[in-house]
Structure 1
Amino acid sequence: MNSSISSSDAGHWRRFVRTFVATAIVVLCGIVAVAYAVDPYDTGRSSLFAKAGVRPQGPRTAAPSRGRDQAFDAAIIGNSHIQLLSPERLKETTGLDFVQLSVPASGPKEQFVIIDWFLRHRQEPAKALVISADESWCGQDPAMPNTKPFPFWLFSANAFDYAKGLVRYDILEEVPRRLGYVFGAKAERARQDGYWNYEPNYLDLGYATDPILRKRLENRPEVDKDMLPSDPVKGKRAFPVATKLQEVVSGMSTDLAVVLVFPPNYKNYLPPPKTIRAYTDQACKAALRAAIEGHPKSTVIDWRVDRDENRDPNLYFDLTHYRLPIAQKVEADVAAALQRLR
């Protein structure tokens, strides 16, 4: 009898488990189907709840919407080292409609994904790309690993990859928020051109006044102590990001203007001469220049050099984040470069 009861109980449990698993799969598929239809980040994959733009949120998840916005024919790509460039000011000087697609703490891997997204969503050919190539572009790893989380699935050209990406807890929160944005008569929209001026944030944190934070500007990276060997050829490095850049640029329209910017650094972050870091920086810049030189409308703007603005501590919050006066000078250089390329 005990054996019979045990066998019966086991059968009940197996049926329960199968029913539970089947129900969970159905519920999960239902959630994904609803999320796909709602399109919480305005990727354009569904038109059932279409409304231009997204609610206010971070640039990682707002970029798909901004990147496919047909109001823009030019884009700024990079991270916080280029995000102070203003689309409005650039339009005044170039006549181009820029969107700021920079994502703080992103690297080349993420930035190439955003470039691809922007270009393949143009109904009319894009006219210009301003691409920031900071020190992260000089890495040695061909995998170009990202140091911070990034929603690659949002930008995927594969619908199944996108659907798999919807299987996450925050989608349960974002779907109702999207519906609130779509149907809310007074729902706030995130800034369309993506511009975010980080100066107020840094000022609030005391980066312009706190003596401890100001003193950090005088600290050099420890790696600057590493001197270059007598035979620099032995220290020769490959730059996989440059290889990827050449591949990407070679597929671009010859009418597209490409401006590669080496963004500004404060003087104490610039590598001292005859160090390994200085050699690597120069070799990296040369590789990146060579990567775009085959494109008929391309140029490089190098602000990662010793110049008056980069010696003024009042123009920097930290070693790599500059203030608006420098940003406006970089904008002027970009505008002049685009004028020449035309």
Structure 2
Amino acid sequence: MNSSTSSSERLSAEAKPAAGMRWQRFIRVSLTAGGLLLAAFFVSAILIDPYDSGRSPLSLKQGVRPQGPRTAAASRGRDPAFSGAIFGNSHIQLVKPDLLKTLTGIPFVSLIAPATGPKETLVLIDWYLRHRQEPAKALVISVDHTWCTPDPAMPVSKPFPFWLFSRNFAEYLFGLMRYDIVEELPRRIRYEITNAPDRARPDGYWDYEAGYVGLGYVEKPELRRRLLERQDMSGGNETGPFPAATALAALLEAESKGAPVVLVRPPLHITALPAPGSPEGRAEAACRAAFQALADERPATKLVDLRRDTPLIREPSNFFDHSHYRQIVAREVENSIAVALTSLR
């Protein structure tokens, strides 16, 4: 009995190290396999360049599949076909690059991104300028109320892929390690291997009218009534500072000293224009003065202020909401930009 018990104990004691070694080998193999898979994914992401950022050593197809403007801008902003660019958010989204080309002779790309502010726009301007083989012929920059912030951090309201446009290659590489890229890689591969793939519009134009109509902004009485209510879109900054204006001036000085620049204060419905002398009116005037000073101090720069009372902005049918106008207003914005650019030549 004692002999049998001792034998079992010895076998059990010998089995424990063996089992432990098997688990160690399993963990090592699993970690090695995981590391290899991760490395393969990482290398594939660099080579396939899912958003056509130009960082791949391979010769890939130009452009990207249809997608949101935040990521498509990496490809569009590098396209040498466009010597002019439009920057901002949905408040300048309806400005048509092809019509601006007709009016000015300059081929434009729209690098707008809805629901963005100055911080994102400055990144896109930087991306566009540093990918020019020849100096840009025109920059059109929308400076709405988000540019009036006194906060030097210039807060971001919606996610934005800063890593995609980063000057720091390590930051770009780190940005590739995300689930979005896992989803995008097979789409990019299909784009590459398809003879005539569906491509995102090269000039970036995106008409939002159908979306607003579909949401009832033309027919729903409650939405039409809301447009007639007063709304403050002054930015609320009466005394400054205006760090977005300072940052824009510094970027243009560093990257594009001679390029003609048109700063556009996009139109609002009359119910969003503040009364002169009110706190909102003082904030409106202070912000305008900051960008007027930028235009006055920088050569070949003009401020086009469309935040003013005209018959066009008094007509409710010309707007979906206080800051999103319709095509008839967009034509006026385009004409004003073209006149400003012509005056700068």
Q: Same fold (TM over 0.5)?
A: yes
Instruction: Between 3-12 and 61-70, report the one with greater CA deviation.
Output: 3-12
Corresponding residue for residue 231 of structure 1:
none
- Structure 1 residues 33-75: Cα deviation after superposition (integer angstroms, max 9, x where no partner): 1011001111111142511111111101100100000000000
Percent of residue pairs bearing the same amino acid type? 49
Distance between the aligned counterparts of 1:255 and 1:237, measured in 2? 28
Corresponding residue for residue 81 of structure 1:
91
Describe the shift of the 1:27–1:330 C-alpha distance in structure 2 as closer, same or farther (beyond 3 A).
same
Q: Say yes or no: does 1:175 pair with 2:185.
A: yes
Distance between the aligned counterparts of 1:217 and 1:171, measured in 2? 40
- Structure 1 residues 153-196: Cα deviation after superposition (integer angstroms, max 9, x where no partner): 11112221111111111212211111111121131111110011
Deviation at 1:250, TM superposition (A): 1.7
Corresponding residue for residue 107 of structure 2:
97
Distance between the aligned counterparts of 1:336 and 1:222, measured in 2? 29
Distance between the aligned counterparts of 2:242 and 2:125, measured in 1? 19
Corresponding residue for residue 220 of structure 1:
230
SS of aligned partner of 1:251? helix
Residue identity in the other structure for 2:71: T
Distance between the aligned counterparts of 2:229 and 2:279, measured in 1? 18
Distance between the aligned counterparts of 1:110 and 1:13, measured in 2? 49
Residue identity in the other structure for 2:312: E
Deviation at 1:219, TM superposition (A): 1.9
Instruction: Between 303-312 and 128-137, report the one with greater CA deviation.
Output: 303-312
Distance between the aligned counterparts of 1:341 and 1:69, measured in 2? 24
Q: Say yes or no: does 1:137 pair with 2:147.
A: yes
Residue identity in the other structure for 2:208: Y
Distance between the aligned counterparts of 1:334 and 1:49, measured in 2? 37
Structure 2: tracts of 5 or more residues without a match: 1-8
Deviation at 1:221, TM superposition (A): 3.2
SS of aligned partner of 2:82? coil
Corresponding residue for residue 256 of structure 2:
253
Residue identity in the other structure for 2:128: F
CA contact (8 A) 2:233 2:272 kept: no
Structure 1: tracts of 5 or more residues without a match: 229-234
Instruction: Between 93-102 and 174-183, report the one with greater CA deviation.
Output: 174-183
Q: Say yes or no: does 1:242 pair with 2:245.
A: yes
Between the two proteins, the alignment pairs up a number of residues equal to 334
SS of aligned partner of 1:81? helix
Q: Alignment partner for residue 53 of structure 2, among 43, 46, 51?
A: 43
Distance between the aligned counterparts of 1:219 and 1:23, measured in 2? 62
Deviation at 1:223, TM superposition (A): 8.9
Q: Alignment partner for residue 216 of structure 2, among 206, 218, 238?
A: 206
5 Å matches for 1:47-62?
A: 47-62=57-72
5 Å matches for 1:1-342?
A: 9=19, 12-221=22-231, 236-342=239-345
CA contact (8 A) 1:130 1:258 kept: yes
- Structure 1 residues 248-269: Cα deviation after superposition (integer angstroms, max 9, x where no partner): 1222434310000001111111
Distance between the aligned counterparts of 2:18 and 2:311, measured in 1? 84
- Structure 1 residues 296-317: Cα deviation after superposition (integer angstroms, max 9, x where no partner): 1000000112222221101100
Deviation at 1:21, TM superposition (A): 3.2
Instruction: Between 284-293 and 93-102, report the one with greater CA deviation.
Output: 284-293
Distance between the aligned counterparts of 1:23 and 1:276, measured in 2? 63
Q: TM-score, normalised by structure 1?
A: 0.91
SS of aligned partner of 1:293? helix
Instruction: Between 261-270 and 302-311, report the one with greater CA deviation.
Output: 302-311
Deviation at 1:127, TM superposition (A): 0.5
- Structure 1 residues 199-240: Cα deviation after superposition (integer angstroms, max 9, x where no partner): 12212222112111111101223799x9x9xxxxxx622111
Residue identity in the other structure for 1:80: S
Distance between the aligned counterparts of 1:15 and 1:137, measured in 2? 58
Deviation at 1:288, TM superposition (A): 1.9
Structure with the greater alpha carbon radius of gyration:
2
